[in-house]
Copies of this chain bind each other. A is one copy, B any other.
Amino acid sequence: MFCPGAGQFHKSSRPGFHPDPLQSLRMTQAVVITVSDSFSRGEREDLSGPAVAKVLESHGFDVQERISVPDERQAIEDALRSAAAHSRLVVTTGGTGISPRDVTPEATRAVCDRLLEGVAEVMRAEGRRETPLAALGRGLCGNIGASLVLNLPGSPRGAVTSLRAVLPLVGHALDLLAGKTEHDQGDPA
Contact = CB atoms under 8 A, between A and B. Distances in A.
Interface string A107-148: 000000010111111101101101111111110000100000
A120 B118 CA distance: 9
Interface size class of A (residues with CB under 8 A): 35 or more
Contact of A185 (B48, B173, B176): B48
A189 B118 contact: no
Contacts of A188: 127, 130-131, 133-134, 136-137, 153, 155, 157-158
Contacts of A154: 183, 185, 187, 189
Interface string A75-108: 0000000000000000000111111111000000
Contact of A118 (B100, B138, B168): B138
11 contacts: A36-B183, A44-B185, A97-B187, A99-B179, A118-B124, A119-B136, A121-B125, A125-B125, A132-B169, A133-B172, A136-B169
